[in-house]
Chain A
Amino acid sequence: MVPEDQIRRHVTRRALLARGSVGLGAIALSTLLGREERSLASSSVGLPDLPHFAPKARRVIYLLQNGAPSHVDLFDYKPMLERMHGQQIPDSVVGGKRFSTMTGTQTERPCLQAIARLRQHGESGATVSDFLPHTASIVDKLCFIKSMHTTQVNHAPAITYFLTGDERPGRPSMGAWLSYGLGTENEDLPTFVAMTSRDKEASCGQIFYDYYWGSGFLPTVHQGVKFRGSGDPVLYLSDPPGMARSHRRAMLSDLRALNELHLQEMGDPETATRIAQYEMAYRMQASVPELTDLSTETAATLEMYGPDVTTKGSYAYNCLIARRLAERGCRFIQLMHAGWDQHRNLNTQLEIQCRDTDAPSAALVKDLEQRGLLDDTLVIWGGEFGRTPFLQGKISETQSWGRDHHPYAFTIWMAGGGIKPGITYGESDEFGFNVVRDGVTVHDFQATILHLLGIDHERLTYRFQGRRFRLTDVGGRVITPILA
């Protein structure tokens, strides 16, 4: 929408309010006004022309596996790597491609077979590592894309690319676009929530930049709210010490009374917005603790998510909170779990990393399904790139086997929300090195997500610095074969 349209829309609403300024105090009391009358920037109702068509998904849970899980170890089984284990990967495959500085100068590139065994599972026969038994048990609900590729070879730019459509910081994150375009379904909770966790052994060191859930050039109201792993889940949620809940309520009622007097005096609808804002804050103070109160969960549910589920800030805890957020209408839930960057410790860390994340990821899908939420909740599991089919380091140093970053082919999975279950899309070559069929770019991935939410990715734009920007920049096509 061009700015002129935005203003026109806003003006109409305002003109209406100002005309009826006699009864403004009364109108201010209605929740309608709380929802409708906001400052120009902070529309919680989304854009009037959205969705462009009937959505399949209403919300997204993105389980971003930060650090890049190894596709050839976990999903993309390549017998060739076993046959050629320890032997140089052919130049015809590598083809002068660029790598990170960690292996860029390495001349020996011996093939490295998968660390653990991969087997076929379910009716779909998808291959999954023995390290991921829980994921293996739900493969018929999942759609594997084995032909993802990206242009970025380092973590932060690659993550930024997946989340914002550009490798440089500064553009809105996907959740911010959705908040801007579709608005909120629950005024008492944030529309876009980010949660982070990391592997227990702290084996890898990528940090989480807060622009990963930033709003870029979109109004800041659309930025993701970071739920914290310690203290208040939302900053400044708790009343100060000595301020009892009923006391706060009483104070807010007087604040409101004074603001209403001022609204009558000045007649600025912004004051009505302020009243609504403080009432929403009060309600959020109740709804967030309710959200994080796990006492209503059954023992069976908790057990499904694994032993870490009650540890605040763990991946398992975040997965359960994600389900609770989805139930309450949160639009975009972005989990980021760091610890997959196994350059020199694949054979020691991969299993641990899988153990921490496997059960919670699978539990989330099952839990959503049991509650009838999987149909309109899109769940995505994936890293920012894959890992090299060849070894980083020396084959003789068996204790420090690892793999470097690999952007040329890797695997992600999606489930629910209009995705065809139990299929595999795309294919990499016999080494898992290059895409040979149905390649999916990052912009294709994003276009497909928007499509599932009822959005034409070419039409959700925002004008900034003289041009219209969109999540998919100038690329992206919807991957229709994976749509249910």
Chain B
Amino acid sequence: MRAALAVFYFRVLGELPYGLTADIAEALRTPDAQRTSSQRRLLRQHYRRQHWEQWDAWERRRQQLQEQLDGIAKQAVRVMVMDDLPERRPTFVLHRGDYQKPLQEVHAGTPAVLPPLPDGPEPARLRLAKWLISPHNPLTARVIVNRHWQMFFGRGLVETAEDFGSQGQRPSHPELLDWLATRLIESGWDIKQLHRDIVLSSAYRQSASVPAEAGELDPENRWWMRGPRYRLPSWMLRDQALAAAGLLSSRFGGPPVKPYQPDGLWAEATFGKIRYQRDTGEALYRRSLYVFWRRIVGPPMFFDAAKRQTCEVRPTRTNTPLQALTEMNETAMVECARAMAQRCLIEGGKTDEERLRYAFRLVTSRWPRREETEILRRRLEDSRRRFQQQPEEARQLLAVGESSRVELGDPIDHAALTVVCNLLLNLDEVLTRE
């Protein structure tokens, strides 16, 4: 539409007799039956322009609205989607992968050991989608069930969650995998039902403590002799700390956010071409899911994360000192300790003991035992003494992070409790799901 208008105004300059432009004259000369839609539009506009008083005002208004509409469209997030070409492009096996040496032509299909794609006039992608979720095809459901099992237990029934083929590992419990998969299909792909099945199982509800005989019988816990126990992924650790601190934003959806990150990381990776502009306010406290990811230099606090170069569906869990440094020193983690301490001062009770017990419970979901409380008390009192001697240090620690601090009582107390919370957020029991 805009293009047509532009053409119209442009052509006005080349006027013909009777005030007609060349393209209008052309449109008029064309028999009605043969006129194109743009010619019809041109003539309609020309007529209205000449014989309709309000035309100019309305046309101006229309243009304004159009610009507004374009502005809105420009703001919209663009999403890439896959689509079929109108005409299928021939695809060839390439000799040793060389695109200049095509061999025989190939067509979309499934491997011979699997059922074929259903026939039909629909595009191949749609047929593939239907094939994937056909009730006669248990493979998809097995893969999904295994992925969820992996999420709850730290390891799938098929350990190579990314590979169910002949090169992958065999399932430890094939009947269980098949039973869960069949139930998933029969339930109409009800994921909540699947989760219920998993978490209500006696395997899942076992204690994670390692029984004495486990070393002999099931050292790797392959047969689920005990409950799952594994370190949480780094992005979940961040969410957990934000939640314990009471900082976590529960808002759903929206554009990505840019939380704290050491200065200069992006600039260094891009020779100063791209600089990290961190967000402020609520954006700092949104779930890790929403954190912006630049592929050449990902968010530095997410260790053991998939590298975005190849598809990875199995979590890596390693232990390096760098991870400990992240959990102890990263700005958000320190801020979480500070906010968590504040929360304990407000909600946790009046005495040190009440507050320490409350803090411990916030991150472990259990009350501390006597000896644990004693260690925490020792830490609190020692930290308090240190800060009393160096009040400036207390002030510095309480200044980490953007969130505001409620003035309650002695900042020394707040700072000392912040150290305790920093410790608690780094407990093995807190980093680990058990």
Interface of chain B residues 186 through 214 with chain A (CB within 8 A):
208-212, 214
Q: Which of A14, A215, A228, A242 contacts B219 (CB 8 A)?
A: A14
B318 near A41 (CB under 8 angstroms)?
yes
A466 near B372 (CB under 8 angstroms)?
no
Report if A95 contacts B (CB, 8 A): no
Q: Which of A39, A208, A211 contacts B317 (CB 8 A)?
A: A39
Q: Which of A220, A225, A247, A278 contacts B316 (CB 8 A)?
A: A220
A225 near B322 (CB under 8 angstroms)?
yes
Interface of chain A residues 243 through 302 with chain B (CB within 8 A):
243-244, 247-248, 250-251, 254-255, 257-259, 261-263, 265-268, 270-271, 273-275, 277-278, 280-281, 283-285
B371 near A254 (CB under 8 angstroms)?
no
B residues whose Cβ falls under 8 Å from a Cβ of A: 162-163, 165-169, 208-212, 214-216, 219-220, 229-231, 262-265, 268-273, 296-298, 300-301, 303-304, 307, 309-310, 316-326, 328-331, 334, 369, 371-372, 375-376, 378-379, 382-383, 386, 390, 392-400, 415, 419, 422-423, 426-429, 431-432, 434
A466 near B167 (CB under 8 angstroms)?
yes
B318 near A170 (CB under 8 angstroms)?
no
CA distance A354 to B169 in the complex (A): 53
Interface of chain A residues 183 through 211 with chain B (CB within 8 A):
190, 196, 198, 202, 205, 207-211
- Best-buried of A39, A237, A281, A465 by chain B (most CB within 10 Å): A281
B298 near A42 (CB under 8 angstroms)?
no
CA distance A254 to B212 in the complex (A): 27
Known: A211-B309, A258-B375. A277 touches B319 (CB 8 A): yes
B238 to chain A, nearest CB (A): 13
CA distance A231 to B324 in the complex (A): 19
Stretch of A15-23, A135-143, A415-423, A454-462 lying at the B interface: A15-23
Contacts of A281 in B (CB 8 A): 321-322, 324-325, 328
Q: Which of A220, A258, A268, A283 contacts B318 (CB 8 A)?
A: A220
Contacts of B326 in A (CB 8 A): 235-236
B220 near A251 (CB under 8 angstroms)?
no
Contacts of B317 in A (CB 8 A): 39, 41
Known: A220-B316, A228-B264, A234-B325. A268 touches B393 (CB 8 A): no
Known: A231-B263, A237-B329. A257 touches B375 (CB 8 A): yes
CA distance A235 to B300 in the complex (A): 8
CA distance A39 to B220 in the complex (A): 11
Known: A42-B318, A242-B394. A268 touches B229 (CB 8 A): yes
Chain A residue nearest to B331 in the complex (CB): A240
Report 19 cross-chain contacts, Cβ distance below 8 Å, ordered by A residue. A39-B318, A41-B316, A42-B320, A170-B310, A190-B322, A207-B273, A211-B307, A216-B309, A220-B304, A221-B320, A239-B328, A243-B393, A254-B376, A257-B375, A259-B427, A261-B372, A268-B210, A271-B432, A284-B322
Q: Which of B214, B322, B329 contacts A239 (CB 8 A)?
A: B329
Known: A15-B215, A259-B427. A242 touches B167 (CB 8 A): no
Chain B residue nearest to A221 in the complex (CB): B318
Contacts of B399 in A (CB 8 A): 241-242
A280 to chain B, nearest CB (A): 4
Known: A231-B264, A235-B300. A39 touches B309 (CB 8 A): no
Report if A413 contacts B (CB, 8 A): no
B220 near A14 (CB under 8 angstroms)?
yes
Contacts of A232 in B (CB 8 A): 262
Known: A170-B309, A207-B269. A267 touches B209 (CB 8 A): yes
Chain B residue nearest to A243 in the complex (CB): B397
CA distance A285 to B328 in the complex (A): 12
Report if A80 contacts B (CB, 8 A): no
A161 to chain B, nearest CB (A): 14
A residues whose Cβ falls under 8 Å from a Cβ of B: 3, 7, 10-11, 14-19, 21, 38-39, 41-42, 169-170, 190, 196, 198, 202, 205, 207-211, 214-217, 219-221, 225, 228-232, 234-244, 247-248, 250-251, 254-255, 257-259, 261-263, 265-268, 270-271, 273-275, 277-278, 280-281, 283-285, 338, 465-467
B396 near A242 (CB under 8 angstroms)?
yes
Contacts of B431 in A (CB 8 A): 274
CA distance A271 to B211 in the complex (A): 15
B434 near A42 (CB under 8 angstroms)?
no
B427 near A247 (CB under 8 angstroms)?
no
Q: What are the nearest 7 A-B pairs in CB distance?
A: A18-B215, A466-B167, A242-B397, A242-B396, A281-B324, A221-B318, A281-B321
B398 near A242 (CB under 8 angstroms)?
yes
B168 near A244 (CB under 8 angstroms)?
no
Known: A207-B271, A214-B307, A241-B396. A280 touches B215 (CB 8 A): no
A262 near B427 (CB under 8 angstroms)?
yes
A400 to chain B, nearest CB (A): 22
A243 near B318 (CB under 8 angstroms)?
no
A18 near B219 (CB under 8 angstroms)?
yes
Q: Which of B215, B376, B423 contacts A21 (CB 8 A)?
A: B215
Contacts of B319 in A (CB 8 A): 38-39, 42, 221, 273-274, 277
Contacts of A270 in B (CB 8 A): 229-231, 428, 432
- Best-buried of B325, B371, B378 by chain A (most CB within 10 Å): B325
Chain B residue nearest to A16 in the complex (CB): B215
- Best-buried of A190, A202, A215, A466 by chain B (most CB within 10 Å): A466
B383 near A247 (CB under 8 angstroms)?
yes
Q: Which of A207, A274, A466 contacts B270 (CB 8 A)?
A: A207
B404 to chain A, nearest CB (A): 18
CA distance A114 to B369 in the complex (A): 77
Contacts of A273 in B (CB 8 A): 319
Contacts of A262 in B (CB 8 A): 427-429
Chain A residue nearest to B337 in the complex (CB): A240
Contacts of A169 in B (CB 8 A): 309
Contacts of B163 in A (CB 8 A): 465-466
Known: A14-B220, A41-B318, A278-B426. A205 touches B271 (CB 8 A): yes
